[in-house]
Structure 1
């Protein structure tokens, strides 16, 4: 292992090590896990000269207090959780230098729920099934498969390039996580299990995020959706953004720690580029759904991918 970047003074609400997830093992019942907001993590990594899939520190709503142990460059992307370095506010979506002995803190959540600390050289925790992501229910990844605790020291690798501070994402590209936006979905694969009134209601009414939401999924509260038959189906594949509807008629959007298969009807799937907006919702926030075509969803994904590739070239990361 390389140097240590932080010592945890206060762990915050739920602070973990996450990369883009543990892919390729769902057939064995191993969940993907990974960053709730994959776009924010990838951008953060590029801003500090890392490859897009490197692990970072995921901070949730109430952030940690971290003592800096070595001089380096970091970036904080995603939610605005009022980060400060030695009491001075730092700019999100832009890399900045930190020095040994400084203290990084977080305060009031202003916009979004999940922030990501990317560190030049990446987080150097062990790879478990080709991922460093923490999945606490199975005690996999990160530091001993758990949330960070007081006293933990977080190891980092050696940067592959010379990293400069002050590199940022253009303002027009920074996501706005404010409540009330339309979340774009592709209907199906079980939308025919709902009557037409329920489909219309799903696409026209607002839903509110409940306090029962977590990394596994966002539980929504709003107009009930009626099924033509029962809510249960033979367990089948589920994906990031799958929207299940159990017997109570209230949608659940499946996220990073989702199970590998599911037995509830699937009314729709959130498109990839809109998943961060779902993940970044706070309890009480509202959203509405908009159905689009697979072709449009693919075009939007290609646009996002081109942005990330452009950032990769600009950062000298290939």
Structure 2
């Protein structure tokens, strides 16, 4: 078990979400940066989809009540009993030790995976917290000071006493995820159904920078910039939408649907962000500048394959480490 000694608001338990229920109005939820959560789980020997803790407000302090393997990935800076840990790192804590996690300058969210995963009752096949629906996770709410989280049974296989880590994906795959010379985050997307109805403004959507507004959360990121206008009024019925869809409400400032995306909406859609870049957007901080780049289906598929290969390499390495230590211990 672990105890939440201190936490900011809106930190929640998340896994990879609860797909399959959008037709009855249940949002998928899940980690805003699923890649970081997958890697954290693999480092501690969990299934990649195990439930962990998504941290977006800091500082956070956690006390371990038993010996536990843990990993911190994504953004955030971590110390164990005051000793700084490298980024994207797995470590084993003893009972009574304190883990402190603070913010990072570059990324918005950190992910904490724990050996065995957070053991709570799944709702509709997922342990993810839906704050809007007030279900899932820990009592359907954000974590609070004093909460105690029970952990599942850790997988067989030892972890190194001194810990081990991986090269973060933005370093390992740097050529595939460039940043503009002026620091803007480049986000690849495909034109969506109503793209051409914006006329000249459709091209401006791709050429101008947008800023993530403070009116942003896990449901959607509202983007500040010069308003986009349809060439003529369009009446639309509500239709299904998913994370990554970029809608344009009457005010003209785009909204990117995120992990807690609405299940349906009637605003015109100008673009859809490719999945390989959506996790990067999930790590973008309020006030970040971003620029949309037209992608092709072939590019999206290539990026998906590169990320899958990176995950596969981490899974293989983590498995080899655990098996090697177990074999040595048995001699």
- Quote the residue 2:74 is aligned against: 78
For residues 118 and 231 of structure 1, the distance between their equivalents in structure 2, rounded to whole angstroms, comes to 46
Number of matched residues? 311
Secondary structure of the residue that 2:140 maps to in structure 1? Answer: coil
Give the aligned CA root-mean-square deviation in angstroms: 1.9
Distance in 2, Cα, partners of 1:204 & 1:245: 16
Name the residue aligned to 1:131.
126
What SS is found at the alignment partner of 1:203?
helix
Which of 236, 242, 246 lines up with 1:243 in the alignment?
Answer: 246
> Which of 185, 190, 205 pairs up with 1:186?
190
Deviations 1:34-93 (A, max 9, x none): 1000110001111111111111000003242111111121111111x2222222221121
TM-score by length of 1: 0.93
CA distance in 2, matches of 1:46, 1:106: 20
Query: Counterparts in 2 of 1:14-93, with a 5 A limit?
Result: 14-79=10-75, 81-93=76-88
Contact 1:184 1:292 in 2 (8 A): yes
1:304 aligns to 2:301 (yes or no): no
Query: Which residue pairs with 2:288 in the alignment?
Result: 285
Report the Cα distance in structure 2 between the residues aligned to 1:265 and 1:88, rounded to whole angstroms.
Answer: 50
Distance 1:62 1:213, change over 3 A: same
Contact 1:210–1:220 (CA<8 Å) still a contact in 2? yes
What does the per-residue CA deviation read over 1:169-224, in whole Å, with 9 as the maximum and x for residues that have no partner? 225327789851210001112212211x2122111111111111000011110122
Checking the alignment, whether the CA contact within 8 Å between 1:56 and 1:123 is kept in structure 2 is yes
8 Å CA contact 2:242, 2:262 repeated in 1: no
The correspondence for 1:111, drawn from 84, 99, 106, is 106
> Gapped runs of 5+ residues in structure 1?
none
Distance between the aligned counterparts of 2:173 and 2:97, measured in 1? 27
**Quick one: distance in 2 between partners of 1:52 and 1:180?**
31
Contact 1:232 1:265 in 2 (8 A): no
Query: What is the aligned counterpart of 1:169 among 166, 171, 186?
Result: 166
Please say if residues 78 and 99 of structure 2, whose CA atoms lie closer than 8 Å, have aligned partners that are also in contact: yes
* Offset at residue 109 of structure 1 (A): 3.2
> Which has the greater radius of gyration?
2
- Which residue pairs with 2:5 in the alignment? 9
Does the 8 Å contact 1:209/1:221 carry over to 2?
Answer: yes
Q: Which residue of 1 aligns with 2:263?
A: 260
The TM-score, its normalising length taken from structure 2, stands at 0.89
Gaps spanning 5+ residues in structure 2: where?
321-331
Q: How far has the Cα of 1:113 moved from its partner?
A: 0.9
Partner-residue secondary structure (3-state), 1:67? strand
Counterpart-to-counterpart distance in 1, 2:209 and 2:158: 44
Cα distance between partner residues in 1 of 2:100 and 2:17: 26
Q: Does the 8 Å contact 1:120/1:163 carry over to 2? A: no
Q: Which of 202, 205, 208 is 1:202 aligned to?
A: 205
Query: Structure 1 residues 177, 72: CA separation in 2 closer, same or farther (over 3 Å shift)?
Result: farther
Q: Does 305-314 or 295-304 show the bigger shift? A: 305-314
Distance, in Å, in 1 between the alignment partners of 2:286 and 2:207 is: 21
Contact 1:177 1:281 in 2 (8 A): no
My pick for the range that moved more, 213-222 or 137-146, is 137-146
Are the structure 2 counterparts of residues 231 and 35 from structure 1 closer, same or farther at C-alpha, using a change threshold of 3 Å?
farther
Q: Distance in 2 between matches of 1:134 and 1:285?
A: 26
Of 224-233 and 138-147, more deviation after overlay is shown by 224-233
